[in-house]
Amino acid sequence: MLAVILFHCWPLWFVSGFVGVDIFFVISGYLITSILLTQLEAGTFSLFDFYSRRVRRIFPALLVMMAATLAVAWYILLRGEFRQVGTHVAAGGGFIANLVLWFESGYFDNSGATKPLLHLWSLGVEEQFYFLWPLILWAVMRKRLNFALVMGLVFAASMAVNLGTVYDNPTAAFYSPLSRFWELMTGGVGAYLHLHRPAWSDQQKRIASIAGALLMVASFSLITPQTVFPGWAALLPVSATFLLIMAGPATPINRVVLGNWLATRIGLISYPLYLWHWPLLSFAYIIYGEKPSYQLKIALMAGAVALAWLTYRLVEVPLRGVASKRRVVGGLTAGMVVMASLGIAVGAGALRERIDVHGSDVYLNALNDFEFPGQRFTPLRHNGIVFQQLAADAPGKTVFIGDSLVQQYGPQMEQLTASAPLRYNKVVFATAGGCPPILNAIRLPLIRFPQCRKAIAAAYDLASQPDVTTVVIGAAWHVHFSGYNNEIEYDTGNGKLSFPSDAAHELAYASFAQTVRHLRLLGKRVFIVLQPPSGTMYDPRNMYQGSRFNSIHPLPRIAPLKLDKFLADNASTRARLQGIAAANGAHVIDPSRYLCKDNECPVLDAAGAPIYTDPLHMRPSYSRDAVTYLTQTVQGDAGAERSAQTP
């Protein structure tokens, strides 16, 4: 757990710390399976006793931490934030946090740093395993099946799910219990070998200890947040932990590194320390709106250690001394039911946050107001990627390619095609949130943007089909080419270059020009949509003021965006895209010509409500009402202009 905590505090220094969760899974699987096998073979196993012990071990610190987190959330969070914490409290109480986080994931999901209970996903995976594993072992014992065979089958099935999902859906591979059970099962194999196979010799143990230590070093050296994970890469920390366990406590490495006084003391509070560290960090991110300072992180971790020690001494230890275990289990279970019920009530909006917004609702309601795909869209699978389509009766077909700045036009296209289907083309949104529409471009981190390269390749392949008459390409061009946080790479075939390096830019622009040229040679009409006006002035979060510790108020005046400033900031990217269009017979659509007037771009509508949901994305109502510049791309007679032009 220490590795995970260090990674959460200083992710740029401890880039591989997240593998600590995988190490924990193996250790947990070993300890619990050892107990289960010993009791089953002795005939003393009881499901009630097993789950009672889990309740006494897991619930006390978890209840205290969740109650404190919910109280702080009530005091400092805004409406949507507080409701999400309530949902996560309920998920944590039901040990399904991993599943809730999995289904929440997506391009518009808020940052994990602002989810105080994000870390409960691993507890969900662990308890889901222990809900099933005792039942499986009990059935194996009753049916006199082969323990080793059953463990091997569980391991193989889970590993197959892991490898089968990690490339196409790494979020599922990360959060799904089915893709993680093999890690706990590895610990279970170690427990079985210790109980049923001859003990290893001292020399074998020393070799295992050294090999395990080397693999552990390799894990923390080679695995990064950009690694496809868990996948094959997870075998490194899992194998390392397995070998260290099999080496036993007497080998020099285990005795000195893992069995020393400090490691033992940290082990006593490791569980409550893990529970406390992340809410403290997350609330710091929320309050300050940016990464907490180095000094603050040190103070927060000192606070986490203090809270962990107090939880251990004042909660866990006293409860262990209570004579009536059944009464303790009953009380803890009732407490968890109450806590989960509170979470459900908060998540449903039945219990409100403390902060008075003083008329700022109009801005808060704009947050997370994004609609794609809408109700009229239907899925379209192409080359293994699911896109979205709108039916219409005109003979042509228009394919939109790009990121979420193209998806924001979905509501407008729905409205057009529904209003007069005979006049408008069939429409396909071959889009992927966060992905630049450039072949061979990679968006990082891979766990959040796993399919950018594959999706964009599939989009252009779809656009090349004979029935497609028009192709519309748009994106947050300036955001991508500015190289924000070095999140874009271009694969040259011989290596990868990171934006915003000049070499990466030149290769990307050349690739895009070649793509446009190819589409024009196929006779397609091609429209390049420049980035619409954008910036922090559009963000509803910047339209109110105040303190999370007091109340918030609307700003007395909200100024429009100055067009000349926006154009100057985007000048280089706009010029390159316009040059590519001119050289290859494509059309350029400049949204600023339609959305701005007299050097001002409004950020509020006539009723005083924000027109964007964040600095970049239009709200659905604004997309439907104000976006007129894309009508020409879906008009039914667009297919008339299909004469192939040689650039």
CB 117 within 8 A of CB 279: yes
The stretch 117-136 carries a mean pLDDT of 96
The stretch 146-157 carries a mean pLDDT of 90
Q: Could you give the angle at which helices 121-143 and 97-104 cross, rounded to 10 degrees?
A: 130
Predicted pLDDT at 144: 84
pLDDT digits (tens, 9 = 90+) for 461-479: 999 999 999 999 999 999 9
Residue 644 has pLDDT above 60, yes or no: no
Which backbone phi and psi does 431 adopt, to 5 degrees?
-125, 165
Predicted pLDDT at 196: 86
The stretch 333-345 carries a mean pLDDT of 98
Residue 516 has pLDDT above 90, yes or no: yes
pLDDT digits (tens, 9 = 90+) for 377-395: 999 999 989 999 998 787 8
Residue 23 has pLDDT above 60, yes or no: yes
Predicted pLDDT at 485: 62
- Read off the tokens for 470: 């028009």
The stretch 339-349 carries a mean pLDDT of 97
Predicted pLDDT at 432: 94
Please write down the HEC assignment for all residues of 225-280: CCCCCCCHHHHHHHHHHHHHHHHCCCCHHHHHHHCCHHHHHHHHHHHHHHHHHHHH
Which backbone phi and psi does 551 adopt, to 5 degrees?
-155, 170
- Interatomic CA distance for residues 279 and 71, integer angstroms: 12
Please identify which residue in the block is written with the tokens 């630049």.
436
Predicted pLDDT at 347: 96
The stretch 18-30 carries a mean pLDDT of 95
Residue 500 has pLDDT above 90, yes or no: no
Predicted pLDDT at 107: 60
The stretch 412-419 carries a mean pLDDT of 92
Predicted pLDDT at 226: 75
Of the candidate ranges 41-45, 172-176, 360-364, 392-396, the one whose mean pLDDT is the lowest: 392-396
Predicted pLDDT at 640: 39
Report how far apart, in Å, the C-alpha atoms of 325 and of each of 52, 200, 300, 319, 520 are.
8, 38, 35, 9, 76
- Read off the tokens for 500: 């915003």
- Interatomic CA distance for residues 570 and 223, integer angstroms: 36
The stretch 360-371 carries a mean pLDDT of 89
pLDDT digits (tens, 9 = 90+) for 35-51: 999 999 899 999 999 99
Please state, as a whole number, how many other Cβ atoms lie within 10 Å of the Cβ of residue 229: 23
Please identify which residue in the block is written with the tokens 């080496």.
247
Of the pLDDT bands very low, low, confident and very high (cuts 50, 70, 90), residue 642 is: very low
pTM value is 0.84
Q: Is the peptide bond before 230 cis (omega within 30 degrees of 0)?
A: yes
pLDDT digits (tens, 9 = 90+) for 559-589: 999 999 999 999 999 999 999 999 999 999 9
Predicted pLDDT at 106: 66
Of the pLDDT bands very low, low, confident and very high (cuts 50, 70, 90), residue 495 is: confident
Stated as kind and residue range, the H or E segment containing 301 is helix 294-311
pLDDT digits (tens, 9 = 90+) for 72-114: 999 999 888 999 999 999 999 999 999 999 988 766 556 788 8
Predicted pLDDT at 638: 45
Predicted pLDDT at 645: 35
Residue 538 has pLDDT above 90, yes or no: yes
The stretch 415-435 carries a mean pLDDT of 91
- Read off the tokens for 17: 């710390």
Of the pLDDT bands very low, low, confident and very high (cuts 50, 70, 90), residue 169 is: confident
Of the pLDDT bands very low, low, confident and very high (cuts 50, 70, 90), residue 257 is: confident
Predicted pLDDT at 109: 58
Predicted pLDDT at 10: 82
- If one compares 191 and 639, the residue with the highest pLDDT of the two is 191
pLDDT digits (tens, 9 = 90+) for 189-223: 999 999 888 888 989 999 999 999 999 999 999 99
CB 292 within 8 A of CB 284: yes
The stretch 139-162 carries a mean pLDDT of 90
Report how far apart, in Å, the C-alpha atoms of 242 and of each of 34, 133, 228 are.
14, 19, 22
Taking all residues of the chain, what is their mean pLDDT, rounded to a whole number?
91
Predicted pLDDT at 110: 65
Which backbone phi and psi does 88 adopt, to 5 degrees?
-75, -30
